């Protein structure tokens, strides 16, 4: 028994020790290379942008280093995120010349879990690469939620015209992070983002996307759509999100729908909303009809903490 325990324990230590040593050595080598790679990335960013402006591709410093494909992919992703209205073809050509597209597919297929999610996310941040088909069906059904989100973004990146259809077909409610990534992608592709059909849609995810668009672009004309959502009792969370969006736009908070929505909230939620309104700068007189007497006193005290008392002598 002693011998079995001894040998079993030693095998465990030996196996994990080898694994640890490999990770340690890889980490140490990465640490040594990092300063030089950062320098090369900075230089290459300038070279890439210069090549795009002059419309003549030039070799980049980062192409002749270790992990060149990964560095090139990260560089192109960051430059692509900073460009607006620029044709992605030159960037795509650069990636295809170095085989980054095939490298990415290989990375996604050979890795699991968060490594796969990272590789997919990087793929989604790059300009479209026609040579590789984003066959994401198996990754869209991956048990890891991070992989599923990243795979959805790859799909949206490749077929932005299908973005709204894909968002509507998601069976679970999308989180704020997911919706904001979709919004980021839509902005990058310069698709017309019409908020009205989204707010009027019956699909919750599309309504969430519509709210985020209204908030992001401060669309003050969206009052009617927001009030309609606030009045709806089907989804309390969505109604509250619409109310917060209205506050963020500093629109007047009048009407039965808003009062009824506030009455449906718990005391804690009302406290949070009060704090939000005070921060957004709503005067007590503007919102006095929304609160009871006690709440009005509390709101006035909150607003006072943003003001100074002028003393005239």
- Per CB under 8 A, residues contacting another protein are 1-2, 5-6, 9-10, 12-13, 16-17, 20-21, 23-24, 27-28, 31, 81, 113-115, 117-118, 121-122, 125, 146, 150, 173, 175-178, 180-181, 183-184, 212, 215-216, 237, 241, 244, 248, 268, 271-272, 275, 279, 281, 298, 301-302, 304-309
CB 153 within 8 A of CB 174: no
Q: How far is the CB of 180 from another protein (least distance, A)?
A: 4
Q: Locate all alpha helices (DSSP H) within 170-292, ordered by sequence.
A: 176-188, 195-200, 204-216, 223-231, 236-248, 256-263, 267-280, 284-287
Of 92 and 245, which CB lies nearer to another protein in the complex structure? 245
CB 176 within 8 A of CB 237: no
Of 47 and 243, which CB lies nearer to another protein in the complex structure? 243
Of 58 and 191, which CB lies nearer to another protein in the complex structure? 191
Of 212 and 229, which CB lies nearer to another protein in the complex structure? 212
Q: Which phi-psi region, left, alpha or beta, contains residue 25 (left: φ > 0; alpha: ψ -120 to 50)?
A: alpha
Q: How far is the CB of 258 from another protein (least distance, A)?
A: 19
Q: How far is the CB of 110 from another protein (least distance, A)?
A: 14
Q: How far is the CB of 212 from another protein (least distance, A)?
A: 7
Class of residue 235 by CB neighbours under 10 A (exposed 0-12, middle 13-18, buried 19+): middle
Q: How far is the CB of 26 from another protein (least distance, A)?
A: 10
Of 177 and 285, which CB lies nearer to another protein in the complex structure? 177
Spell out the residues 6+ positions from residue 173 whose beta carbon is closer than 8 angstroms to its own. 204, 205, 208
Spell out the residues 6+ positions from residue 181 whose beta carbon is closer than 8 angstroms to its own. 149, 153
């Amino acid at each position: 028994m002693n011998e079995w325990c001894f040998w079993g324990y030693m095998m465990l230590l030996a196996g994990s020790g080898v694994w640890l040593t490999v990770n340690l050595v890889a980490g140490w080598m990465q640490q040594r290379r990092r300063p030089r790679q950062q320098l090369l990335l900075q230089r290459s960013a300038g070279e890439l942008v210069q090549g795009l402006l002059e419309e003549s591709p030039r070799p980049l410093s980062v192409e002749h280093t270790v992990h060149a494909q990964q560095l090139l992919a990260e560089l192109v992703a960051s430059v692509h995120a900073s460009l607006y209205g620029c044709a992605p073809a030159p960037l795509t050509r650069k990636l295809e010349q170095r085989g980054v597209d095939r490298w990415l597919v290989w990375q996604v297929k050979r890795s699991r879990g968060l490594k796969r999610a990272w590789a997919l996310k990087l793929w989604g941040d790059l300009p479209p690469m026609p040579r590789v088909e984003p066959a994401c069906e198996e990754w869209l059904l991956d048990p890891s939620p991070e992989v599923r989100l990243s795979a959805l973004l790859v799909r949206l990146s490749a077929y932005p015209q299908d973005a709204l259809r894909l968002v509507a077909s998601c069976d679970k409610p999308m989180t704020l992070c997911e919706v904001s990534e979709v919004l980021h992608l839509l902005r990058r592709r310069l698709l017309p983002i019409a908020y009205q059909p989204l707010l009027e849609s019956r699909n919750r995810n599309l309504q969430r996307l519509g709210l985020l668009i209204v908030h992001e672009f401060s669309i003050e004309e969206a009052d009617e759509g927001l009030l309609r959502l606030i009045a709806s009792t089907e989804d309390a969370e969505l109604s509250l999100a619409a109310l917060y969006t209205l506050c963020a736009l500093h629109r007047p908070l009048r009407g039965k729908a808003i009062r009824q929505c506030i009455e449906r909230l718990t005391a804690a939620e009302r406290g949070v909303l009060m704090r939000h309104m005070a921060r957004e700068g709503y005067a007590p007189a503007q919102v006095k009809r929304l609160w009871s007497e006690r709440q009005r006193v509390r709101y006035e005290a909150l607003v006072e903490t943003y003001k100074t008392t002028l003393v005239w002598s």
